[in-house]
Amino acid sequence: MFLVALFQLLPQHSSASVDHFEQYMPSKCEACRLFAWELESNARRLSSKMPRDEAEAWLVEELEQLCPRMLDYRLHKDRQGLARFAKERTGTANAIKRLKERGVQVKLDVDDTLLDRPSVESAKLKEHCEWMVEEFEQDIDRWFINLRHRKTLEEFLCSGRLADEFDGTCAKSDRREELK
């Protein structure tokens, strides 16, 4: 009888903790939007008169470097939506750093070097990025060579090409500036 009651409680407890954990994990759509913003912002720096073979070589190199840069994003639990991923340190990490700089003894239950390590959520962004590059490299190439001056990568890839993958939930952000 006791074991039956215990087993009835376990799934409820574990699903609640999974739900809490999952609420912060990035979706493929969110990863796509960050990926698109990163690639577009770097591509804007290129000369429009760059020869095609140089542009293609740049894209290959950029795609190799872009996914590891997803680990630079930090999870900000106090923010909503895509804004919860930003490259600056979290408020908590900044506060701890400032206190230590002032000579305040801060005792943490974990090693403080973990504050600067990529989070599980950042690793998930990188994983989604690698999946997109692997699965949609030809589409990304096509956008870069033929469409980048007419359509954003977010429109082409996230809201367009990958829309089925996201069950229509990958709507374009109203606040693109939240990524800057």
pLDDT means per 10 residues, the chain with 180 residues, are: 38 46 80 94 85 92 95 86 78 65 71 68 93 94 91 89 65 47
Task: State CA 143 to chain mean position distance.
Answer: 21
- The per-residue pLDDT for 21 is 57
Task: State CA 21 to chain mean position distance.
Answer: 16
Q: What is the pTM of this model?
A: 0.72
The closest of 76, 58, 55 to 66, measured between CA atoms, is 58
- The per-residue pLDDT for 61 is 95
Helix then strand then coil, % of the chain, to nearest 5 = 70, 0, 30
- The per-residue pLDDT for 161 is 76
- The per-residue pLDDT for 119 is 78
CA quadruple 112, 115, 121, 126: dihedral, nearest 10: -110
- The per-residue pLDDT for 142 is 94
- The per-residue pLDDT for 102 is 75
The residues facing 85 across adjacent strands are 75
State the DSSP string of the chain. -HHHHHHHHHHHHHHHHHHHHHTTSPPHHHHHHHHHHHHHHHHTTS-TT--HHHHHHHHHHHHHHHHHHGGG-EE-TTS-GGGGEESSPPHHHHHHHHHHHTT-----SS-GGGGGSPPHHHHHHHHHHHHHHHHHHHHHHHIIIIITTTS-HIIIIIIIITGGGGTT--PPPS-GGGG-
Q: How many angstroms separate the CA atoms of 154 and 135, rounded? A: 16
What DSSP character marks residue 74?
A: E
- The per-residue pLDDT for 180 is 44
**What is the residue whose two structure tokens read 């542009």?**
55
